[in-house]
Structure 1
Amino acid sequence: MSKRVVKTSLFLALATAASHSVAGGFAINEQSISSMGTAFAGRSSSADDASTVFGNPAGMARIKREQVSGGLALIYAKTDIDNASGSFPGSNDGDMVPFIGAPMGYYVKPLNDNWSFGLGMYVPFGLVTDYERNFQGRYYGDRSEVRVITLQPTLSYRFNEQLSVGFGPTINRIDGELTSYLANPASPGRGDDGKVEIKGDDTALGFNFGVLFEITPQTRLGMTYHSKVDYRLKGDTTVSGSGVIATSAGSYDATLELTTPESLDFSVTHELDADWTIYAGSTWTRWSRLEEIRADNKGVVGALKGNISSIVEEQNWHDTWSHAVGAAYKLNRQWTLRAGFAVDQSPTNNTNRSPRIPTGDRKVFSLGTAWSPNDDVTIDVAYSYLIEEDTQINHTSASKGNYRSTYKNSAHGLGTQVTYRF
């Protein structure tokens, strides 16, 4: 077993670091299809349906009828790898992110004129990267799959016609499975690599808090705070291989501690007239918390034991801002059209960026529509196109060789959501 084993574990935690609404990294942004149509502008001030449980818990005060909302977002990502070079031969096919889906479901019930109860289930983030067998940068990243599901019970309280607040604890379940290649120190890159498989999971608590202030019946301001979450992932790492690697082959316990950052979302919604509504918003995420990731392995044996009992990997992520604007046009009583544009900073840097999370600053273009055949049902559909700036990977290691490349990432998102009012 070598440093590669623990670095596989490290990236299980690193994948979870991309969380909350419009944060960078590999965040899953689609917790609401109605908000997706405006590129999530106005997420904390719109309160159009039960998905406000995530967007701003205080927005439940605007919902006058008991309702449920459920939906699914499908994400198709594409990656081209250019200008690749490295110490060892291999391919650079790209397109390592398979077709994935993110479900969501919400329930809101007004209890009286002041109190409302809500419940939400959503996917705040996820990561799937799966390179080809002979990927040239396989020692720095191969297959990664991490899933998070959050359950959020919520209460809101309306003080008066203008001010409402909301609060909800979050129960966050993380699980992941990774497969990686381990360079044989005797002959790295020569076809006798080892294999690493790791599984890990944890359940941790956080909370969401929101404030909604209605300046006028046409204009409202929203603020939502998503708390940091402290995780302690426990995983099993299984190593197999020949030569020196074989002396450390077996299964070991791995423990990783990670704090995901807090974020603040600010937005404004303004109804220009009976037909037009405009939205704007910004989100700040404290990614600078992720300075390093530390992993500890227990019971390590073999020739490389001294290298992996405790491993620290520098990340040096930085705080990010994202900004979005959007508009909605009420075509008639049944149909509403939406559009939006967002810019989103990446927390990574050129020095530490890995093939597992090769993300850069992004731009998002969105379109959406809502169809309400009657007062009880609304069906939302939205489409987004995301494109990132070219990002550089540049790594050098005595055991894994050099790997340099340029990533060109883009993604398409398509979602639908149904809201039913009782």
Structure 2
Amino acid sequence: MISRVFKTALALAVSAASSYTLAAGFALNEQSISAMGTAFSGRSSSADDATTVFGNPAGMARLKREQVSAGAAAIFAKTDIDDAHSTFGGTNDGDMVPTVAVPMGYYVKPIDDKWAFGLGVYAPFGLITDYESGFAGRYFADKSEVRVITVQPTVSYRINDQLSVGFGPTINRIDGELTSATLNRATPGQNDGQVKVKGDDTALGFNAGVLFELDPRTRFGLTYHSKVDYTLRGDTTLSGSAFGPLAGKYDATLDLETPESVDFSVTHDLNDTWTLYAGSTWTRWSRLEEIRVENKGRLPAALSTITEEQDWHDTWSYAVGAAYKLNRQWTLRAGLAYDQSPTRNEFRSPRIPSDDRKVFSLGAGWSPNDDVTIDVAYSYLKEDDADINQVSATKGAYRATYQNSAHGLGAQVTYRF
């Protein structure tokens, strides 16, 4: 039984990617509220404020004044679960994602006409799901929480009037916790056990970008966000009568690679009033082929290594947007995006109940003077219906259709010195 427990719980600890974000997998998009207003369609080419530290470090070359940008986005997710069937019964309330906030902060200082320095603190990945007690799919999913916080010192260099480059190493801290129910074979559906997995790690990566200004009205941006290799170290706690004498705490390690991505976008000032944006992002989710867990403690030798197939695939997202300068103080924004899901139908579980998604965004920027800009944005996300069809000899069966949607609200302040 303990083998089944670890394979079910530990191996899914980080692949449990039912996300509350406006991006696919367990990636977060909410690193800029000004970009959120155009559905992130010009993220690597707009370079309008200090959030370009993340969007494209080369964009710092366009900022002529020292400045700070800080803000947060709140995500309100909703899930309806239809046509649910479970071997051992239970509830299907849905709405397992609590309201969450995603903060960010950036600083940029031009050093001279060529060089600029920047610093960013943001969350590139994260997830949280928490099903109700007695959830019908509790043997496949219960609670999952993973957070990644990144600190990015950055420099940019203007090579000439048209071409700029930027680079920043990233210091990434990941921590996570997973709990799940375990079937008590003696009394199926009753007296379940519980598994709690906790772990953390710090690892390095980098972001790099190129900004090419074709002319004063048109610019192209290309940004590369590197993969990051983690080894999460922590423990697994087994509790409840389902485990008998094996209940207790065990050391565990889990290797995880968060994927690299390439973002390309173009920004074109159609005239003094209208600005158009278009962009796409490729993410190498195929790195998540399997989860491999190394266990220590008073366990049989066969449990020293446990693997579970994930077989995620690479994804593309596409976005278009526009900004309208109403007057000297107000700028209005809108955007549309389409984002592929990395999960495959045969492996989708209640931990990953997502499918391809469409996003509609609105935003506004208010500049009462040349020193301050306040940006706000709203996004609505709607996913394709996600079918779950999980069958296990040790956990029974769970089948359902998930209908997921989310509202995002964000606010950001930029102050120029």
State whether TM-score is above 0.5: yes
Partner residue in 1 for 2:349: 354
Secondary structure at the counterpart of residue 134 of structure 2 = coil
Which residue identity is paired with 2:216? P
Residues 94, 35 of structure 1: alpha-carbon distance in 2 compared, 3 angstrom cutoff: same
Residues 22, 267 of structure 1: alpha-carbon distance in 2 compared, 3 angstrom cutoff: farther
Instruction: Say if 2:146 and 2:175, in contact at 8 Å, map to a contact too.
Output: yes
| Deviation (angstroms), 1:18 | 7.9
1:304-345 per-residue CA deviation (whole Å, 9 max, x = no partner) reads x46633211111111100000000000000000000000000
> 1:37-116 maps to which residues of 2 (within 5 A)?
37-116=37-116
Which residue identity is paired with 1:9? L
Which residue identity is paired with 2:323? A
Instruction: Say if 1:360 and 1:390, in contact at 8 Å, map to a contact too.
Output: yes
Residues 346, 60 of structure 1: alpha-carbon distance in 2 compared, 3 angstrom cutoff: same
The CA distance in 1 between the partners of 2:379 and 2:22, in whole Å, is: 14
Out of 251, 258, 275, the position equivalent to 1:277 is: 275
1:82-113 per-residue CA deviation (whole Å, 9 max, x = no partner) reads 11112111111100000000000000000111
Q: Which runs of 4+ in 1 moved over 6 A?
A: 16-19
Partner residue in 2 for 1:262: 260
Residues 210, 18 of structure 1: alpha-carbon distance in 2 compared, 3 angstrom cutoff: farther
The CA distance in 2 between the partners of 1:363 and 1:130, in whole Å, is: 24
When the two structures are aligned, how many residues end up with a matched partner?
A: 416
| Deviation (angstroms), 1:360 | 0.6
Partner residue in 2 for 1:155: 155
The CA distance in 1 between the partners of 2:404 and 2:18, in whole Å, is: 19
The CA distance in 1 between the partners of 2:303 and 2:88, in whole Å, is: 24
Partner residue in 1 for 2:366: 371
| Deviation (angstroms), 1:13 | 2.4
Instruction: Say if 1:16 and 1:125, in contact at 8 Å, map to a contact too.
Output: no
Return 259-268 or 29-38, whichever deviates more. 259-268
Identity of aligned residues (%): 71
The CA distance in 2 between the partners of 1:89 and 1:16, in whole Å, is: 24
Secondary structure at the counterpart of residue 88 of structure 1 = coil
Query: Structure 1 residue 195 and structure 2 residue 194: aligned?
Result: yes
Which residue identity is paired with 1:181? A
1:214-269 per-residue CA deviation (whole Å, 9 max, x = no partner) reads 000000000000001101011210001215x1131110011111112111000000
1:162-182 per-residue CA deviation (whole Å, 9 max, x = no partner) reads 000000011110111222111
Which residue identity is paired with 1:66? E
TM-score of the superposed pair, with normalisation by structure 1? 0.96
The CA distance in 2 between the partners of 1:221 and 1:87, in whole Å, is: 54
Consecutive unaligned residues of structure 1, counting only runs of 5 or more, are none
The CA distance in 2 between the partners of 1:77 and 1:385, in whole Å, is: 10
Out of 307, 314, 322, the position equivalent to 1:319 is: 314
The CA distance in 2 between the partners of 1:54 and 1:395, in whole Å, is: 38
Which residue identity is paired with 1:4? V
Which residue identity is paired with 1:155? V
Q: Please provide the CA RMSD for this pair.
A: 1.6
Secondary structure at the counterpart of residue 112 of structure 1 = coil
TM-score of the superposed pair, with normalisation by structure 2? 0.97
The CA distance in 2 between the partners of 1:7 and 1:67, in whole Å, is: 48
Partner residue in 1 for 2:383: 388
Instruction: Say if 1:341 and 1:364, in contact at 8 Å, map to a contact too.
Output: yes
